[in-house]
Amino acid sequence: AQSVTQPDIHITVSEGASLELRCNYSYGATPYLFWYVQSPGQGLQLLLKYFSGDTLVQGIKGFEAEFKRSQSSFNLRKPSVHWSDAAEYFCAVGAGNNNDMRFGAGTRLTVKP
């Protein structure tokens, strides 16, 4: 069965600093991979997705992620964090014809002024 691990529960970065959120997945076949962001009390917004092709994918709000099959990873990056990026970030893997998704536990991002 597919599963997702986000090793970092909480990360704090200074505004303007770079960011990398880690995600490792477990799935036997080629996974569909996603990053979602959730602000407090809000729903889930898709940042980016990987299905196939170029392993470096660009998303909204200046985020990017790189799929590394050898490491079973799909880490999210942003070169310069803004205060508005403070939120909870969830990595997810989808599988099968229905793309039933399994989410990681999330990483809470705090941005210091």
Partner 1 sequence: EPEVTQTPSHQVTQMGQEVILRCVPISNHLYFYWYRQILGQKVEFLVSFYNNEISEKSEIFDDQFSVERPDGSNFTLKIRSTKLEDSAMYFCASMQSNYEQYFGPGTRLTVT
Task: List residues near partner 1 by CB under 8 A.
Answer: 32, 36, 42-46, 49, 51, 90, 92, 94, 96-106
Nearby residues of 74 by Cβ (< 8 Å), 6 or more positions away: 23, 24, 25, 33, 35, 50, 65, 66, 67, 68, 91
Nearer to partner 1, 15 or 27 (CB): 27
24-26 and 3-5 beta bridge pairing: antiparallel
Please report how close the Cβ of residue 15 comes to partner 1 at its closest, in angstroms: 25
Residue 18 or 100: the one with the smaller Cβ distance to partner 1 is 100
Residue 69 or residue 82: which is nearer to partner 1 going by CB?
Answer: 69
d(CA 60, CA 70): 26
CA–CA dist 32, 95 (Å, integer)? 6
Query: From the CB of 9, what's the least distance to partner 1, in Å?
Result: 11
Query: In the bound complex, what is the minimum distance in angstroms from residue 40's beta carbon to partner 1?
Result: 11
